[in-house]
Amino acid sequence: MADERTPRATRPDATVLDHAPALGPLYARALLTAPGRGGELTEREVTQRGARIDRDRLAAYDRVCGFGVRDELPATYLHVLAFPLQMVLMVDRSFPFALPGLVHVRNRIEQHRPVRADEVLDLCATARNLRPHAKGAQVDLVGQARVGDELVWEGVSTYLAKGAEAPAEAPSGHDELEVSLPDDASPAAIWRVPKDMGRRYAGVSGDVNPMHLNPLAAKASGFPRMLVHGMWTKARALAALEPRLPEAYAVDVAFSRPLLLPATVGFVASTAGGPGEWDFAVRPAKGGREHLRGRVVSATVSGPPPALP
């Protein structure tokens, strides 16, 4: 984990943005730049200085995801801010995989301390750790947020490129997330997720991936109907635990099965060894393979959580 006390200089070859790019044009560009991908992972960095929080957008995000409306940012909201920078990396032709077809299989976040809506953030994104997987290759898109020189948040989104290849010398990642939840555990809550939840989440996050918004686009991507964003499901689960979360924690989730809309799902959670530590899952209400499983680890119980890659 990075030293929070050490000032961080922007790399001289970094792409520096003065505002967050709109995701719609980036998705369009992803289609145009998809052919001819491959090769090594190029070391690049995208940064945005002086990002300010739109309180109205934050409040709308809180409502859509189930958080209480307040001036403290949910840890998943920082992902919303960092994701456009990660998209800039992924749509560039130097990125080895075409964005269409990439599968978001895991997301890990560390909140080093609560972040307030009146704080000004410096954001950065990099791509790291290209490695083989049984079904192809995986890569991590890493985001960080700083207030001044203080690192306050880190996030790692792991993407799977099915059928792709990684350098033979790259070590395989340990990609299984084990949680302790009985298969027959009774849900703590039942959520009815409406057909328009993909559109509602896109409206507050800016993530306008067509498969979440249009049934024809969903079918073109191999799904029978529209599906909700995985990061909505993670945010909704975190919101259910919100009153019990410590100020500093890591939350790690694996996305196992798309959540097709509309849906009725159950939220299952149990303590995982100590105060502020939780295992949780989102499962179909009538049984079947889970959509998401996750774990929260407190940074205040036994020191900082393990460093993100």
Which pLDDT band holds residue 250 (cuts at 50, 70, 90)?
A: very high
Note the pLDDT tens digit of each residue in 75-94: 999 999 999 999 999 999 99
- Residue 283: pLDDT over 70: yes
Kindly list the structural domains of the chain, giving each domain's residue range(s) and its CATH number in brackets, ordered by start: 15-165+186-298 (3.10.129.10)
pLDDT of residue 300: 54
- Residue 158: pLDDT over 70: yes
Lowest mean pLDDT among 45-49, 170-174, 228-232: 170-174
pLDDT of residue 276: 79
Tell me the pLDDT of the chain averaged across its residues.
90
Note the pLDDT tens digit of each residue in 4-45: 434 455 666 789 999 999 999 999 999 998 988 888 898 899
Q: What is the DSSP string of the chain?
A: ---TTS--PPPTT-EEESSPPPHHHHHHHHHHT-TT--SPPP--EEEEEEE---HHHHHHHHHHHTPPPSSBPPHHHHHHHHHHHHHHHHHSTTSSS-STT-EEEEEEEEESS--BTTS-EEEEEEEEEEEEETTEEEEEEEEEEEETTEEEEEEEEEEEEET----TTSPPP---------TTPPPSEEEEE-TTHHHHHHHHH----GGGT-HHHHHHTT-SS-B--HHHHHHHHHHHHGGG--SSEEEEEEE-S--BSSEEEEEEEEE-SSTT-EEEEEEETT-SS-SEEEEEEETTTSSSPPPP-
Which pLDDT band holds residue 305 (cuts at 50, 70, 90)?
A: very low
pLDDT of residue 182: 87
Question: What average pLDDT does this structure show over 283-304?
Answer: 81
